[in-house]
A = this chain, B = another copy of it.
Amino acid sequence: MAQTQTLSKNQKIILDIIEKAKEPLKAYSILFNVQKKGIKAPLQVYRALEKLIKLGKIHKVESRNAFVACKNSNCEISKATAFSICETCKKVTEISNQKLSKYLKNFHDKTGMTYKKYNLEFYGLCTSCKRS
């Protein structure tokens, strides 16, 4: 079970900082923030990120090269992700919508390709940026 997975020291440190952040975090900004905790090199960060992604604890927002904590029961181990991204304030929200995920999981194109995973990113204006 993913829930019982025990994280290593570095993985915990890095998950913690991502979970506390209100914004998606970039790898090197994570690095800067954990240097006081003894993590000194990019690889230490990237390795933890890679593992956390595999476990579904975090996701990479591909178009931003940034990382967010999963808000959605670990997203079936990161196989089906959707985000809304405000182009003004850069806020990223994970979308959890049953109909949408069902629709996409069942989607097949005419080539007969088998999909194991998808990532969807919507870009636009969040409500507060719309007002101003």
> In the bound complex, do residue B62 and residue A121 qualify as a contact, i.e. CB atoms below 8 Å apart?
yes
Interface size on A, residues (CB 8 A): 31
**A86 CA to B63 CA in the complex, in Å?**
19
Asked if A38 is an interface residue, CB under 8 A from chain B, the answer is no
* 12 A–B contacts from the bound complex (CB under 8 Å): A84-B111, A93-B109, A93-B111, A109-B122, A113-B122, A113-B124, A113-B126, A113-B127, A118-B120, A118-B122, A119-B123, A120-B121
> In the bound complex, do residue A107 and residue B127 qualify as a contact, i.e. CB atoms below 8 Å apart?
no
**A6 CA to B51 CA in the complex, in Å?**
47
**Contact digits for A48-81, partner B, Cβ 8 Å, 1 yes 0 no:** 0000000000000011000000000000000000
**A84 CA to B122 CA in the complex, in Å?**
17
**Contact digits for A75-108, partner B, Cβ 8 Å, 1 yes 0 no:** 0000000001011000001010100100110010
